Amino acid sequence: TFSQVALAPCSFSGCHLQEVVYKLNALLVCCCFVFCRRPPKLRQISWLLFVFFSSDIEISRAQSPKAVDVLAKEIGLLTDEIEIYGQTKAKVRLSLLERLKDQPDGKYVLVAGITPTPLGEGKSTVTIGLVQALTAHLKINSFACLRQPSQGPTFGVKGGAAGGGYAQVIPMEEFNLHLTGDIHAITAANNLLAAAIDARILHENTQSDKALYNRLVPVVKGVRGFSSIQLARLRRLGINKTDPETLTEEEISRFVRLDIDPSTITWQRVVDTNDRFLRKITIGQANTEKGFVRQAQFDIAVASEIMAILALTTSLEDMKERLGKIVVANDKKGEPVTAEDLGVTGALAVLMKDAIKPTLMQTLEGTPVFVHAGPFANIAHGNSSILADKIALKLVGEKGFVVTEAGFGADIGMEKFFNIKCRASGLVPSVVVLVATVRALKMHGGGPSVSAGAPLKKEYTEENLQLVADGCCNLQKQIQITQLFGVPVVVALNVFNNSTDQISRYFFLISFDAVPCNHWSDGGRGAVKLAQAVEKAANQKSSFKYLYSLETIAQKVYGAEDIELSPAAQSQIDRYTRQGFGKLPICMAKTHLSLSHQPEKKGVPTGFILPISDVRASIGAGFIYPLVGTDRAYCPGQPVPCPPPYGEDPFPKPNLTLP
């Protein structure tokens, strides 16, 4: 559906030639579109003059992106299929899936990684470099599908997630801040549900059945009427009545009282800021709340189950249904209480009506990118949205490539990509790209600890071939994990800003067929070899299959000898089975810093028993998540092994500022 031209005008900001070419191009797009409805070719944008810039933000600000409506036309979108947000972002409507439903899918590539250092090993830059290489240099249609980053880490030590160097999504600020408002919509929906829970408990505790009924089913212009949500609740309660005036007192009581047990509430408020002081709080202390105080917490917004739902949903109708199914607590009889019971499904869905549409952006070289959803990989599945992947697979055409990324190492992100995301979407992956760095290999080979914000120790800044060689065990294990799922693997050695000279000497030691990538310094050109390897691997036979049980994941993926369920975990499993949720897929909540549950164990730990301390459920998203580990050293003070709000605080200096 779209093709490429490598020849491109100088797109250095302020260049007059570029301006002329842009205008001509826009005219061409118009004519082409009006007369033959065939979109013009995709245009690469070059960056030859950027060598003067040193930081990611300088590079991003120096490039002039194509107008997003031009990009949209280049890749074959119709005018009424996009909703433009400013000059560089557009939401894509889901109606596209209907129009292109008979178009065969392109090749589906997952970028995963070895067990990372806390600094990350550049899966995002590999993803972006790879599509730049495919599209602009090999002339193969391709699309990158990325997660929307949380603003918490963006203003912390980590910084943004737009990629880096000459493999970036631009403009960086637009990517990292607000985007098209999806995370804000999730926050609004999540917190509306949270407020409804506490308000409901308070009202039930302080009001009569009759007063509750009058508030829930008010007389409007002399008439009472049930909403469709309320009619559904009545049916669930076995009350087959539609006229509010005919309910008996007993039926009214059952209808109005959810009888939520406050000690079982699992739905937390969220904020998209690293705010450590909200990790554990007491709420309801104003006099107006009449003493109904309880302990609660704020999670980071992207850890909301609504984010996981957004990532896994396949249509507006499906999303609304999943939102309704969210279990927020149990009632006093031990039965689940849902968002639907609280009557807020319609409100949650209307808040999310635009968030369901993926956002179109572009790389530094003008390659199309979808940014959509960003659930955390430690309590959810860590993958961008199914909808973005599906749309992109249609747009690139049968011979094209869609490259997406899984959070954390392959043992977590990739495992969840296969077992949860592919299971929900039905899509079959063609190739896995496993990203390794010399830095992470050295760490697995016994190098000293690496931490964010602190300078790297000399083992990492100086050559040390032995550490690299010893660390290859982790890479080998991750390759084996990939092979368990029956998908061809390509190993990408991400070179960052190290000189190639130095790297080639390391590379000699690595016995796998790994491709060094220089996209960080050279853009798409630096990832051409990787792109060629991926193209070749995509022609191999894939015999993709899911893995099923908790035990299989623990033993075959992590390398544990066995699992050990705590009494709490066992009782939760029994409860979920009794409630009918026993067959949901499993989403492990485990540290990403080791194959085991202990983050300090590098390389390939063996002989350990994997402890499951508790089990939680995201019923709307559709998975059960066992909490792995006993000490939670990597996430102190939290019931869920994700520091909510995530990570360090916005100190000392926010990474992104207005100049």
- Contacts of its own copies in 427-466 (CB under 8 A): 453, 455
Q: For its own copies, give the closer residue by CB, 130 or 450.
A: 450
DSSP codes of every residue in 364-425:
TTS-EEEE-----TTTS--B--HHHHHHHHHHH-TT-EEEEEBSS-IIIIIHHIIIIIIHHH
- Which amino acid, 111? V
For 47, the token pair is: 């960056």
Of 61, 97, 181, 331, which one interacts with its own copies (CB under 8 A)? Answer: 181
User: Strand 359-363 relative to strand 167-170: parallel, antiparallel, unpaired?
Assistant: antiparallel
Residue 272 binds to its own copies (criterion: CB under 8 A): yes
Closest contact distance (angstroms) between CB of 95 and its own copies is 13
Angle (CA) 461 463 467, round 5°: 100
Q: Among this protein's residues, is 125 annotated catalytic?
A: yes
Closer by beta carbon to its own copies, 127 or else 168: 168
- Active-site position among 377, 538, 560, 621: 377
Cα dihedral: 564, 566, 567, 570 (round 10): -60
Nearer to its own copies, 238 or 636 (CB): 636
Give the C-alpha distances (Å, rounded to integers) separating 53 from 57, 60, 518: 9, 10, 17
> Residues touching its own copies: how many (CB under 8 A)?
84
| Binding track, positions 141-180, relative to its own copies; x by CB under 8 A | ----------x---x-----------------x---xx--
Q: Is 299 a binder of its own copies (CB under 8 A)?
A: no
Pick from 251, 259, 289, 335 the residue near its own copies by CB under 8 A: 289
Which of 72, 114, 138, 194 lies at the binding interface for its own copies (CB under 8 A)? 194
Residue 199 binding its own copies, by CB under 8 A: yes
Interface pick for its own copies out of 343, 366, 375, 611 (rule CB under 8 A) = 343
Residue selected from 259, 261, 459, 649 as contacting its own copies according to rule CB under 8 A: 649
Q: Binders of its own copies among 358-417, rule CB under 8 A?
A: none
Is 544 considered catalytic here? Answer: no
Q: How many CB atoms lie within 10 A of CB 237?
A: 12
Buried b (16+ CB within 10 A) or exposed e, 512-547: eebbbbbbbbbbbbbbbebbbbbbebbeeebeeeee
Binding mask 624-643 for its own copies (x = CB under 8 A): ------------xxx----x
Q: Does residue 377 have an active-site annotation?
A: yes
Q: Which residues of 373-382 are buried (b: 16+ CB within 10 A; e: fewer)?
A: bbbbbbbbbb
Check whether the bond before 641 is cis (ω within 30° of 0).
no
Catalytic residue among 147, 200, 390, 416: 147
DSSP state of 499: -
Residue 497 near its own copies by CB under 8 A = no
Q: Does a cis peptide bond (omega within 30 degrees of 0) precede residue 585?
A: no
Query: H/E element holding 363?
Result: strand 359-363
Tokens of 51: 């060598």
**Residues 609, 610, 614, 618, Cα dihedral to 10°:** -150
**CA dist., res. 439 & res. 456, Å (int):** 10
Locate 391 and state its tokens. Answer: 């749309």
Q: How far is the CB of 367 from its own copies (least distance, A)?
A: 23
The one catalytic residue among 408, 417, 485, 623: 408
Residue 140 CB, shortest distance to its own copies, in Å, is: 31
**Which DSSP state fits 140?**
-
Instruction: Candidates 15, 32, 61, 83: give the one binding its own copies (CB under 8 A).
Output: 83
* Footprint (CB under 8 A) of its own copies, residues 207-226: 215-219
Catalytic residue among 125, 180, 345, 363: 125
Tell me, yes or no, if 408 is annotated catalytic. Answer: yes
Task: Pick the catalytic residue from 155, 520, 581, 608.
Answer: 520
Q: What's the min distance (Å) between Cβ of 10 and its own copies? A: 20
The interface with its own copies within residues 533-562 (CB under 8 A) comprises none
Is 266 labeled as catalytic in the residue annotation? no
* Annotated active-site residue in 43, 73, 158, 325: 158
Region near its own copies per CB under 8 A, out of 4-12, 349-357, 416-424, 511-519: 349-357
98-137 residues near its own copies, rule: CB under 8 A:
none
Cis amide leading into 645 (omega within 30): yes
Kindly tell me which residue out of 284, 318, 476, 579 binds its own copies, with binding defined by CB under 8 A. 284
Regarding 582 and contact with its own copies (CB under 8 A), the answer is no
Known active-site residue 520? yes
Cβ proximity to its own copies, 34 vs 48, nearer residue? 34
CA distance 557 to 410: 9
What's the token pair of residue 510? Answer: 């690595």
Amino acid (1-letter code) at residue 516: P
Rounded to the nearest whole angstrom, what is the least distance from the CB of residue 215 to its own copies in the complex? Answer: 4
Q: How far is the CB of 200 from its own copies (least distance, A)?
A: 6
- The residue range among 77-85, 409-417, 535-543, 564-572 that interacts with its own copies, by the rule CB under 8 A, is 77-85
Nearer to its own copies, 273 or 542 (CB): 273
H/E run at residue 516:
strand 514-517
Residue number, 209 or 275, with CB nearest to its own copies: 275
Q: What is the DSSP string of 556-618?
A: III--SEEEE-HHHHHHHHHHHHTT-TTS-B--B--SSSSSS-TT--S---S-EEEEEEEEEE
Residues marked active site are found at: 123, 125, 147, 158, 377, 408, 496, 520
